[in-house]
Amino acid sequence: MTGNTTFTMIKPDAFAAGSTGLILNKIIENGFKIKALRLTALSKEKAEAFYAVHSERPFFNSLVEFMTSGPIVAAILEKENAVENFRKLIGATNPADAAEGTIRKLYATSIQYNAVHGSDSDENALIEGNFFFNQFDRH
Ligand code: GDP
């Protein structure tokens, strides 16, 4: 059985380019409900923890530097079969391989500067959502 929740980040490249509103609109147009939304920024420690699975990859340091370079928008999204449907909407990791109309095809500029994150499993959607949102948060 697949879950109905996924997690996304609008990455620093897309935020800096002013694409946040258009990306959120595309997400909504495609039937996702925004359950939580936050403008924030990653510390080096948080970025390293978020991408720990890639810590041995040659691009790890560059990825952490990029992900800490400016504001990001974190969101929890809801739709049936959310993880798979959202991965389809964002397109391939490398925008050169992303299908027409996908968010990465429209807004990413390279394999690293690829505009958005999307969880790759129900389990990670939960972990990543909890990384940014806590039901007891009040500001
Ligand atoms: P995703 O699930 O499609 O985001 O891709 P991955 O989990 O494989 O990679 C995480 C993030 O690392 C990607 O979204 C990119 O920002 C970055 N990344 C992935 N592969 C490369 C690469 O070969 N070079 C560089 N510089 N960054 C990469």
Q: Please indicate whether residue 114, judged by its CB atom, sits closer than 6 Å to ligand 1.
A: yes
Which range of residues forms the domain containing residue 47?
Answer: 5-134
Q: How far is the CA of 117 from the centre of ligand 1 (A)?
A: 9
Ligand 1, atom 26, residue with closest C-alpha: 112
Catalytic residue among 117, 118, 122, 125: 117
Q: How far apart are CA 112 and CA 93, in angstroms?
A: 8
Does 139 map to a domain? no
Does 103 map to a domain? yes
3-state secondary structure of 20: helix
Does 129 map to a domain? yes
Domain count across the chain: 1
Mean pLDDT of the chain: 96
Does 25 map to a domain? yes
The residue to mutate among 62, 111, 128, having the most atoms of ligand 1 within 8 angstroms of its beta carbon, is 111
What tens digit of pLDDT does each residue of 81-125 get?
999 999 999 999 999 999 999 999 999 999 999 999 999 999 999
Under 8 Å CB-to-CB from 29, ≥6 apart: which residues? none
Does 19 map to a domain? yes
Q: Which residue has the tokens 């699975």?
A: 53
Which CATH number goes with the domain that contains 23?
Answer: 3.30.70.141
The residue to mutate among 42, 63, 103, 124, having the most atoms of ligand 1 within 8 angstroms of its beta carbon, is 63
Does 59 map to a domain? yes
Give pLDDT, residue 134: 83
What tens digit of pLDDT does each residue of 22-36 get?
999 999 999 999 999
Q: Is 117 a catalytic residue?
A: yes
